[in-house]
Amino acid sequence: MGDAAATQARVDAFLAEVTARLRPTLDKSACAGAKLGATGTAVRSLLWKWAGSATHASQLTAQLTIRRKALTSAFSKVEDAGGCATNVDAVRTQVFVDRLVADIVAAFGGSVALSACELRQVAQVAGIAVGAALAPTLIAAEPLYADTAVREFNALTPENVMKWGPIEPTPGVWNFAPADALVDLAAAQGMQVKGHTLVWHSQLPNYINFLTPPAMLRSFMEEHISTLVGHYRGRVFAWDVVNEAVADDGSGLRPTYFFNQLGPGYIADAFRLAHAADPHALLLYNDYNAEFVNSKSDYIYGMVQQLLSDGVPIHGVGLQMHVTANGSPVNQPSLAANIQRFVNLGLVVNISEMDVGIRALMGDQASKLAEQRQIYQDVIAVCRSIVGCHAVTFWGFTDKYSWIDSTFGPDEPLLFDDAYNAKPAYFGVREAFFNSGPFICLAP
Ligand code: XIL
């Protein structure tokens, strides 16, 4: 087969693949049929245009890679025109397109050289958003902190400043400035923002305890969610709507103040309120110790399945991934099976707060750092292997500032050391993104 025929065959295969992968998602929405048809047509014409100008397959490969962004925007434009797009469509499209392109390039036996190989570039070609939890005070105070954050990450999450206590310390009195600073930084640096978090039992303002009867708490929750999500409408891509609502043993919902006053329906209510305040935002349930298949993740799975069948606007699940290394390897099959079952419900999954403590390890420093690297690498590799695991956020990025030290004792759980040097863990993460695609790094 000559190059032209080979190119055509590959384009056809690509289109069949795109259609097959998008169909289950799009068929779920009201305007699916029209969207799918229009999307297919748009993508087909783009591809044929590029294929026509490519003299052989390796050129098409290069074209596809360079034009990845245009391809993505073709999908989202079509979806927007359908009038039923949310960020869920956008995120799925992004992941599908980026990974399909990477897969095709790989199948062609080609490789694409990257001249910038910081995490954000490498993650981008793997179709995964890579973020860190950040503090605006440190952005303002330490140039090295700010520079490293924007150089390495294409997403951010406010570590504390969007939580209820910090952002609405007095009823109706809002302290938006610190969170605004992060959202502005993200806009200037092309970073996605994930808001964290609307309803959680922790870091609440004191006045919460005086909100009785239940109707009063309900109206404050309504005001809180509507105002906060409304304030950031269009600028915050995703929200951790409800955080840590499930009991540690997975036996049921945690008896929080919200649960005790409002009953289990507070969860669905929170999602509906957030959706009304920003219909495009990706809405997530977030929790810890639910990364692998266990009784807690079983409960969460049942809970989100019920929410979906009740028509509640929930779009994804965040798995925190606060890990303490203890000598055992990551159970990759269990992590993969857990992520996959949520994806099979039509949800997206993100690793939302990853850090890997090494304080419990014996041995020398080099072996501790090597084990930490392996854990990071193994987790990211699983996320990369599942279309639908669309983002990874680390809970900080420099060991100089980690919540682990003050909460659990001195540790070095993150990707950069106190002096902002990349640790072995950093290279493990990067390799997991790289391994996934035929990309080579030309940068030193
Ligand atoms: C932590 C912050 O990192 C600390 O600075 C703060 O004192 C307490 O909260 N799960 C979550 C995060 O969802 O919001 C928590 O963040 C860490 C555990």
**DSSP string spanning 130-190?**
EEEEE-HHHHHH-HHHHHHHHHH-SEEEESSTTSHHHH-SBTTB---HHHHHHHHHHHHHT
CA gyration radius, the chain? 22
The mean per-residue pLDDT over the stretch 415-436 comes to: 92
Torsions phi, psi for 355 (to 5 deg): -150, 155
With the most atoms of ligand 1 within 8 angstroms of its CB, the residue from 199, 200, 400, 403 to mutate is 403
Which residue has its alpha carbon closest to ligand 1 atom 1? 403
pLDDT band for 15, please (50, 70, 90 cuts). Answer: low
Cβ atoms < 10 Å from Cβ of 34:
15
CA of 50 to the centre of ligand 1 (A): 47
The mean per-residue pLDDT over the stretch 310-322 comes to: 94
Task: Report the range of poorest mean pLDDT among 55-59, 142-146, 283-287.
Answer: 55-59
86 Cβ inside 6 Å of ligand 1:
no
pLDDT band for 73, please (50, 70, 90 cuts). Answer: low
Please report the pLDDT score of residue 33 as a whole number: 44
Torsions phi, psi for 132 (to 5 deg): -140, 150
98 Cβ inside 6 Å of ligand 1:
no
Q: What angle do CA 181, 183, 189 make, to 5 degrees?
A: 100
403 Cβ inside 6 Å of ligand 1:
yes
The mean per-residue pLDDT over the stretch 20-33 comes to: 47
Over the range 332-370, which residues count as b (16 or more CB within 10 Å of their CB) and which as e? eeebbebbbbbbebbbbbbbbbbbbbbeebeeeeeebbe
What is 350-404 written as a DSSP string?
Answer: EEEEEEEE-TT--S-HHHHHHHHHHHHHHHHHHHHHSTTEEEEEES-SBTTS-HH
Contacting residues for 326 by C-beta, under 8 A, at least 6 apart: 360, 361
353 Cβ inside 6 Å of ligand 1:
yes
Q: Which of 21-35, 104-118, 156-170, 422-436 has the highest mean pLDDT?
A: 156-170
Active site residue 244: yes
Write down the mean pLDDT value for the chain. Answer: 84
The closest-lying atom of ligand 1 relative to the alpha carbon of residue 135 is: 5
pLDDT band for 3, please (50, 70, 90 cuts). Answer: low
224: pLDDT strictly greater than 60: yes
Percent of the chain with pLDDT over 70: 72
> Regarding beta strands 322-324 and 316-319, do their DSSP bridges make them parallel or antiparallel, or are they unpaired?
unpaired
86: pLDDT strictly greater than 80: no
Cβ atoms < 10 Å from Cβ of 2:
8
Please report the pLDDT score of residue 262 as a whole number: 97
Please report the pLDDT score of residue 381 as a whole number: 94
CA distance 11 to 4: 11
CA of 70 to the centre of ligand 1 (A): 37
State pTM to two decimals. 0.85
The closest-lying atom of ligand 1 relative to the alpha carbon of residue 403 is: 3
433: pLDDT strictly greater than 50: yes
CA of 243 to the centre of ligand 1 (A): 11
Which residue has its alpha carbon closest to ligand 1 atom 16? 159
* Contact between 442 and 434 (Cβ < 8 Å): no
Name the DSSP letter for residue 246. B
The mean per-residue pLDDT over the stretch 2-16 comes to: 59
Which residue has its alpha carbon closest to ligand 1 atom 13? 243
CA distance 329 to 392: 20
* Contact between 76 and 93 (Cβ < 8 Å): yes
For residue 309, what are its two tokens?
A: 């069948």
The mean per-residue pLDDT over the stretch 269-297 comes to: 95
29: pLDDT strictly greater than 50: no
Cβ atoms < 10 Å from Cβ of 124:
18
pLDDT band for 248, please (50, 70, 90 cuts). Answer: very high
Percent of the chain with pLDDT over 90: 63
The mean per-residue pLDDT over the stretch 276-288 comes to: 93
CA of 7 to the centre of ligand 1 (A): 50
